Amino acid sequence: MRLATIRVSTGTAAARVDDDGAVEVGAADVGELLARPGWKTAAEQAAGPRHALDTLDYAPVVPAPRKVLCVGLNYRTHILEMGRQLPTHPTLFAKFGRALVGAFDPVVLPAGSREVDWEAELGVVIGAEVRHATPGQAAAAIAGYTVVNDVTARDFQYRTTQWLQGKTFERSTPVGPWLVTDTEPGEISCDVDGEQVQKAHTADLVFGPADLVAYISQIITLEPGDLIATGTPGGVGHARKPPRYLSAGSRMVTRIEGIGELRNTFVEEA
């Protein structure tokens, strides 16, 4: 099942996206839906207003998550090829909700940065409140998966040893187009201006989705609608020789097999 937050004339609506159209499920967005007991059955049985697929305007899957948690250095092959040891604990940082945009929205280049980079990532969306989770509880708390690109201002990121300032510029992080339940994500890739720049398999994650939910839940309670971006594979622009960065007009496509794709164009900050 695919669940999306779509823009409608009255604001936004959560919808189940089927092969022949989208059906509103009676909530303002997917975050509100996930906070309701029995959300999955309600979404499966919903019969609200319908929309043609070619008319859908996707907002971020959860437009205003209470938490956006991100993971660095989490693809095994990429870490080893860089000559580093595999981490024993996840590297965590955060974003704020204003960083998020929809799957096909423009992405805004930060006015003060000249080193904006791509980072294709698998997104995990939480579907139940969980704290101090066992592995089984962590897996059960995952509502499903989405596609994220953790667009990063490298010059801001590396000003200090703390990464947040390079990671949470407004309207910089596309998410979507939907949340997919009951699936196993496959290959992840990113194309920039028609050239494939990243390709890996999500099975290469050092810390998988349930591992991350269990670990993070030791620190803070995870709630329905929270988003975890699980890290990016090799191929980022900053690591190239010479480095390569995004600019106004750059077109980025981020795909995950079995989930979906983002298609975004970069624009200058007004």
Among residues 142, 159, 143, 60, the alpha carbon closest in space to that of 107 is found at: 60
Over the chain, what is the mean pLDDT?
Answer: 96
Q: Are strands 107-109 and 260-268 parallel, antiparallel or unpaired?
A: parallel
pLDDT of 74-90, one tens digit each?
999 878 876 788 999 99
Tell me the residue type at 29.
D
Among residues 114, 94, 57, 238, the alpha carbon closest in space to that of 173 is found at: 94
What token pair was written down for 240?
A: 């190239």
pTM of the model: 0.96
Q: What are the structural domain ranges in the chain?
A: 1-57, 60-268
DSSP-derived letter for residue 78 is: H
CATH class of the domain comprising 60-268: alpha beta
pLDDT of 160-198, one tens digit each?
999 999 999 999 999 999 999 999 999 999 999 999 999
78: left (phi over 0), alpha (psi -120 to 50) or beta: alpha
pLDDT of 114-142, one tens digit each?
999 999 999 999 999 999 999 999 999 99
Give the pLDDT of residue 80: 81
Helix (H/G/I), strand (E/B), else coil: 26: coil
Give the pLDDT of residue 79: 84
Asked which of 68-82, 226-240, 250-264 is least confident by mean pLDDT, the reply is: 68-82
Give the pLDDT of residue 264: 98
